[in-house]
Structure 1
Amino acid sequence: MKEYIESLQQLSKSQLVLALARQRLRETERIAVVGMACRFPGRIDTPEEYWDALARGRSVLTEPRGIPTDSAGRPRWNVSAPDLAPLAGLLGQGAYLDSVDLFDAERFGIPDEEADHMDPQQRLLLTCAAEALDEAGPFDRSARVGVFAGVSTVEYTFACLRNGLGVDGLSPYMGTGGALSATAARVATGLRLNGPVLTVDTACSSALVAAHLAVSALRRGECDMAVIGACHLMLAPFTTGVFDRAGMLSPTGRSRPFDAAADGHVRGEGCGVLVLKRERDAKADGDLPYAFIRASDIHQQGDRPSMAAVSAVAQRRVMSQALAESGLDPHQVHYIEAQANGSQLGGVIEAETIAEVYRRTDPGAAPLHLGSAKANLGYLETASGAAGLIKVALALSHRTVPPQPGVDRPDPAVPWERLSLTMPRAALPWPAEGPPTAAVSAFGFTGTNAHVLMQGADTPQPRPAPRRTVTKGRAHWPAENIWR
């Protein structure tokens, strides 16, 4: 430290100001979103299909659902089994992905036995990461590419334990195949990426926390590009029963953010991946970003009645800190992709907190639009933040605020008449005042909250047709991993 201070003292005033300005520029540089990929319920397999659903206000929760099946038509769980039968109705309400047994192991040089024992969440993240990087375009393989991947559950091996797997059925690949810590490493090794690699588990805020860590790593020069994302699959049926006992699930099978009839959420599955670069690097490479991350923050308010208690203080702090880091005026933000998971009490607290932080407590202020993709897709839990980030990047790219399904009558417990908050019922052109700016919130159920501020390109240009190769592969799902 002494040597560093002495070196600064030798600088002239103008040199010192210039050095500090350059440092500040590095610390606040916008981070470009240059590639994306996803798998969401309703057979939404690309960002383009996702945007089509968002723009039309489509909700997969209004469409026929049931117990998910694999590529051979086998149900994931035998809900006629005596211990599973009581959960059959709840399990049939979920928003699932199709054929999660399929995986193109050959594409990544993975042996069949290893692929069989890999958690399908690892497979999906690896596949989506490859697609997102393909869309982002060629990159220097010697570059440092960070991987920050969110995943929370390890349920793939539960069925084989239920079915009485013995010592003879063990595989050496079960270790890395079923470890949370291996999730991000699977992407790095599968795609031969070199850089910081970290698996993140903060429950539903995992993807936004991953984005926050990646942004920091890019600004500090720890990596030249970053792959972020999260995946969530519901492979064990009893977790649904636990959530139902906790009063979290909607008995009507709908997610209604900020609505008078909000009665809980619908569990859902999904995977979303984004590729990030520093803005100057994206310009040098000729990229056409979907959007930019302007600022982010994470916060845990440990001083609250219980771990799962909603904290208005925590929400206020994380939003305020991210906003302060961005240097933006609150009225410059036009849209918030809210946590809004269908809890009535949580919705009231979140709406009032947003209005306070973003100075929309005056009904005469410029309107701030609210939305939540949970009404479109269900609550994707660990992957819900990835769905929110991709939604906002697409909305900024298209300069359109998508309509919000699931709202028939705004919750009267929210004082809408004195707040300048709105929920669009139809698609709206993005407000023209200033650069298009939005924020995404994600609140982990154990208390780790995250908030990310994003901006659209200053002069949007049409993106070229995406270079998408959506591959399915072959079935990799041992018979002992079927719930009987």
Structure 2
Amino acid sequence: MTDDAQVLDYLKRVTADLRRTRAELDRRRERDSEPIAVVGMGCRLPGGVDGPEGLWDLLDREADAIGDLPEDRGWDIEDLRGRPGMSSGGGFIRDVAGFDAAFFGVSPREAEAMDPQQRLMLEVTWESLERAGIDPHSLAESSTGVFTGISTTDYARVTTSGRVPTPEGAEGYLMTGTAASVASGRIAYTLGLRGPALTVDTACSSSLASVLLAVRSLRQGECTLALAGGATVMSGPSLFLESAKQGVLSRDGRCRAFGDGADGTGFAEGAASLVLERLSDAERHGHPVLAVIRGGAVNQDGASSGLTAPSGPAQSRVIRAALSDAGVGPDDIDAVEAHGTGTELGDPIESDALLEVFGARTGGEPLWLGSVKSNVGHTQGAAGAVGVVKMVLALNRERLPRTLHADQPTSLVDWASGGVRPLAEARDWPRGIACAARGCRPSVSVGPTSTSSWRRPRPPSPGPTRPSP
């Protein structure tokens, strides 16, 4: 072989290698940015909400789910009501002690020692799989991952304080029953799952951080299906007592998000679960695609004006990072489901961050700003996932629900400086002409973590089948 022929042969081999490398890089880039489908949802919330359909009914009726303090938990209600700065109510789940232990293979004594948050996550996770048309038993030995946000662990304090008697024979179950780490591990154990099982505590962004971790785990191939969400149950009144001392509670337990009458946050309970899958897998398996998550981001405030005070610049940065990760710009976003806790400190900071990012929009419509907390209260560790459930419902119903108590937007925000407006009334949200061409319509759910989501057009899917125990 001549020298020229050898050189030519070498160049051909190098070119082929480069093509293979480029193709592999393209496949990895596509995998790392593949949309993640929401194929199932479950939730339990104040107001008797026992699923997504119930939540939409509550939102569509513009109902307020805030009620009196619970009288079935051993709390000294009269003492609490007499405390300075105390809320007169909050959002509480009905029959939070109700649990079909036998259905999940749990003994009655172990069930009594279990944190109600663990019980709720078992229930809503099971229901979210049913709504996705997936038999939970079929996931045994699969690489399904579990990502659970838990930020409250007061059940352990309640059971060890003596205020609530420890059930006879349940002492040996208290360690696992009250450990936050077991909230995700118990789901994996009950269903026989082999993927990652993580319990996340980032305070009020816990469940939204869990969703982001699930998205990244799916894209990296650590799991083939992900169960992400979070739960909060206030077994004791300690959160109210401490918050009352700090003066951050709403007088009647309601979150007046972005309203001029905002006077503090209103705490609530809740649980939500999302079944997530790579879009290509969901379409191949014939699972219902309710929405897709394109991207997300997470950061920390750093040194702000106080340990618990939010940072406007940090919120602007994380929103921009989420938009960049999703491959969209401010003009592509129609609506934001905000943190919106109804405090005079947090809401203006969050609003100003949104105005900084979205204020220079060139479209005719403003960016619509909502908060499900105005209906059900601040569900804390579950709040982010509850917000995602709300936006998925809004996408599929093509309607943005009203944010209660925001008829008169807060005067602490210069709304005239940009195109951001609170949802003082419900609005139709039909598919726009620009987005129809690409089969999507964007929204963003914002907290310390931000996620962007779209609905893709699909034929209607049948409702979930609910096998009897």
Out of 418, 440, 446, the position equivalent to 1:441 is 446
Q: Distance in 2 between matches of 1:91 and 1:412?
A: 24
Q: Which residue number corresponds to residue 461 of structure 1? A: 459
Q: How does 1:406-421 map to 2 (within 5 A)?
A: 406-421=405-420
Q: Distance in 1 between matches of 2:311 and 2:130?
A: 40
Q: Which residue number corresponds to residue 475 of structure 1? A: none
Contact 2:41 / 2:131 at 8 angstroms: preserved in 1?
yes
Q: Distance in 2 between matches of 1:315 and 1:142?
A: 40
Q: Which residue number corresponds to residue 109 of structure 1? A: 105
Q: Which residue number corresponds to residue 95 of structure 1? A: 91
Task: Say which SS state the counterpart of residue 175 (structure 2) adopts.
Answer: helix
Q: Which residue number corresponds to residue 46 of structure 1? A: 51
Which consecutive unaligned segments of at least 5 residues does structure 2 have? 1-12
Q: Distance in 2 between matches of 1:344 and 1:375?
A: 15
Report deviation, 1:145: 0.4
Q: Distance in 2 between matches of 1:88 and 1:51?
A: 35
Higher RCO (CA 8 Å, separation ≥ 6 residues) = 1
Q: Which residue number corresponds to residue 282 of structure 1? A: 282
Q: Which amino acid aligns with 1:103?
A: F
Q: Distance in 2 between matches of 1:298 and 1:9?
A: 41
Count of equivalent residues: 447
Q: Distance in 2 between matches of 1:296 and 1:151?
A: 20
Task: Say which SS state the counterpart of residue 309 (structure 2) adopts.
Answer: coil
User: Mean alpha-carbon deviation: is it higher for 287-296 or for 49-58?
Assistant: 49-58
Contact 1:401 / 1:427 at 8 angstroms: preserved in 2?
yes
Q: Distance in 1 between matches of 2:330 and 2:468?
A: 40
Task: Say which SS state the counterpart of residue 271 (structure 2) adopts.
Answer: strand
Report deviation, 1:25: 0.3
Residues 259-294 of structure 1 show CA distances to partners (whole Å, capped at 9, x for unaligned) of 111111111000000100000000001122110010
1:80–1:324 CA distance, 2 compared to 1 (3 A):
closer
TM-score, normalization by structure 2:
0.89
Contact 2:251 / 2:263 at 8 angstroms: preserved in 1?
yes
Q: Which amino acid aligns with 1:212?
A: L
Q: Distance in 2 between matches of 1:468 and 1:368?
A: 39
Report deviation, 1:171: 1.1
Task: Percent identity, please.
Answer: 36
Task: Say which SS state the counterpart of residue 345 (structure 2) adopts.
Answer: helix
Q: Which residue number corresponds to residue 296 of structure 2? A: 296
Report deviation, 1:96: 0.3
Q: Which amino acid aligns with 2:33?
A: T
Contact 1:403 / 1:428 at 8 angstroms: preserved in 2?
no
Q: Distance in 1 between matches of 2:383 and 2:315?
A: 17
Matched, 1:422 2:418: no
Q: Distance in 1 between matches of 2:258 and 2:382?
A: 21
TM-score, normalization by structure 1:
0.87
1:217–1:51 CA distance, 2 compared to 1 (3 A):
same
CA-based RMSD of the aligned residues comes to 2.4
Contact 2:143 / 2:224 at 8 angstroms: preserved in 1?
yes
Q: Which residue number corresponds to residue 35 of structure 1? A: 40
User: Mean alpha-carbon deviation: is it higher for 196-205 or for 234-243?
Assistant: 234-243
Residues 39-61 of structure 1 show CA distances to partners (whole Å, capped at 9, x for unaligned) of 00000001001011112222223
1:12–1:169 CA distance, 2 compared to 1 (3 A):
closer
Larger radius of gyration: 2
Q: Which residue number corresponds to residue 221 of structure 1? A: 221
Report deviation, 1:215: 0.6
User: Mean alpha-carbon deviation: is it higher for 294-303 or for 332-341?
Assistant: 294-303
Report deviation, 1:329: 2.1
Q: Which residue number corresponds to residue 67 of structure 1? A: 69
Matched, 1:15 2:20: yes
Report deviation, 1:190: 1.7
Task: Say which SS state the counterpart of residue 77 (structure 1) adopts.
Answer: coil
Q: How does 1:247-396 map to 2 (within 5 A)?
A: 247-358=247-358, 360-361=359-360, 365-396=364-395
Contact 1:399 / 1:436 at 8 angstroms: preserved in 2?
no
Task: Say which SS state the counterpart of residue 172 (structure 2) adopts.
Answer: coil
Which consecutive unaligned segments of at least 5 residues does structure 1 have? 1-7, 70-74, 443-448, 472-484
Q: Which amino acid aligns with 1:282?
A: A
Q: Which residue number corresponds to residue 76 of structure 1? A: 73
Q: Distance in 2 between matches of 1:311 and 1:346?
A: 9
Report deviation, 1:318: 0.8
Q: Which amino acid aligns with 2:385?
A: A
1:420–1:168 CA distance, 2 compared to 1 (3 A):
closer
Q: How does 1:130-279 map to 2 (within 5 A)?
A: 130-138=126-134, 139-163=138-162, 171-279=171-279
Q: Which amino acid aligns with 1:95?
A: G
